[in-house]
Every structure is written in C-alpha cells, then in structure tokens.
Structure 1
C-alpha cells in the first residue's frame, strides 16, 4: 500500500500528428520550455472532450482524439500532485493559431520532437508513434 496517496490535478495532452507524420510542439510563454499542447481537465468534463477543448484553445486546430498512449503521475516543484494522460491525436490541418499561453510552435519529426520535450512527454511521443506503426 502507498504510504502517501497522490491527490492530483489531471493534465491532458495530445501527441498531435498531421498527415506527414510530424508532431506539434508548442513553446510556453512562461518559461520558454517546449511541450505538447493540452491542459487541465475541468470538473465534470469527459477526458477526450477535455483534450480536444484544450488543443483547440491553445492551437486553433480541430483534432481527432484517439486513444490514450501514456499516463504518469508526479509531484511538481511545489510538491503538488499531478496526473498526466497523453492521447494520440490526428489533424489534417497545419495552420496553428497560438493562444497567449504559447509564443511559438513547430511541426517536428517524432524523433526530433521527443528529444526537444521532457523525458515524460518524449516517452508519450514514442508510444504514440508505436501505436501508429501497429
């Protein structure tokens, strides 16, 4: 049994592929770090609908949310619990319209995207690519 159960905010992110198999990464306005698009799940919100909403708000893209490819929990620097779920997503568009939360974006090969992202998000990209290759 876990000695200290995790109480966590739920974060949903999309590993978003366009037809050329490139993955979208976005640059945070707060610290300049790169991440996959997504955000927090709202109360009473269905998870796939939440990731769809977050991606649309952050990028302006309409996406097809597929299945989850990775889930992970952690504590941030302030010792707050986090639980992240990463979904494989598809889009036929590549015209991104960023929200105020991000300053830049890039469509990258999955391998390059995985290197630019944190280890956890890079792992989600690799798992989404494996799902694609099946």
Structure 2
C-alpha cells in the first residue's frame, strides 16, 4: 500500500492518426515544447467526451476516438501530481485550426512524433501504432 497517495490533475490526450498514418503533434505557446493534443477534464465530465472536447478546442478537428492506449502517473518539475490517459484516435480531415495554447502543428510519422515527445507521450504513440496495425 502506498503511504502517501498521489493527488493529481487528470490530463487526457489523443494520439491522432491521419489516413496516411501520420500523427498530429502540436507545439505549446508557453515553452515551445511538442505534445499531443488534449487537456484537462472538467468536474463531472465524461473522460471520452472531455478528450474529444479538448481536441476540438485545440485543433478544430473531429476525432473518431478509440480505446485508451496508455495511462501513467507522475510528478512534474514543480512536484505537482499528474495522471495522464492517452487515447487512440483517427481523423479524416487534416486541416488544423490552432487555439491560443499552441503556436504550430505538424503531421509527422509515428517515429518522428516519438522523437519529439516526452517519454509518456512517446510510449502512447508507440502503443497506439500497435493498435492501428491490428
């Protein structure tokens, strides 16, 4: 049993595949790092509805959401608890309309996405690629 349970913000993100197999990555406004689109759940919000809402707000895309492909808990650089859930998703449209939270986007190969992202997000891309191949 864990002595001190993690108190964490929930973050939901999508590994979005275009028809050609490329994955969407977006660059944050705050520190210019790359990430998968998504965000935080609202109180009493359904998880799948929340991630679809966040993706639509950040990218303007409608996503066909699949199963979760990765979930992980950690502490960030400020020692704040985080819990992330990453979903497999597909889109038919690749025209992105970025929100103020991001300054750039790219559709890249899964390997290129893994190279740009944090370890938890790279693992999610790898896992989602395996689901896509099934």
- The TM-score with structure 2 as length reference comes to 0.98
Structure 1 residue matching 2:85: 3-state secondary structure: strand
| Alpha-carbon distance, 1:27 to partner | 0.2
Q: What's 2:24 paired with?
A: 24
| Alpha-carbon distance, 1:31 to partner | 0.3
Question: How many pairs are equivalent?
Answer: 134
- The TM-score with structure 1 as length reference comes to 0.98
1: CA distance, partners of 2:44 / 2:64: 21
Q: What's 1:130 paired with?
A: 130
Q: What's 1:50 paired with?
A: 50
In the TM superposition, what are the counterparts of 1:52-91 in structure 2 within 5 Å?
52-91=52-91
* Structure 2 segments unaligned to the other structure (5+ residues): none
2: CA distance, partners of 1:5 / 1:100: 34
Of residues 74-83 and 28-37 in structure 1, the stretch that sits farther from structure 2 once superposed is 74-83
Runs of 4+ in 1 over 3 A off after TM superposition: none
**Cα deviations across residues 77-130 of structure 1 (Å, max 9, x unaligned)?**
221111000000110000000000000000000011111111110010000001
In the TM superposition, what are the counterparts of 1:95-134 in structure 2 within 5 Å?
95-134=95-134
2: CA distance, partners of 1:109 / 1:80: 31
**Cα deviations across residues 22-43 of structure 1 (Å, max 9, x unaligned)?**
0000000000000000000111
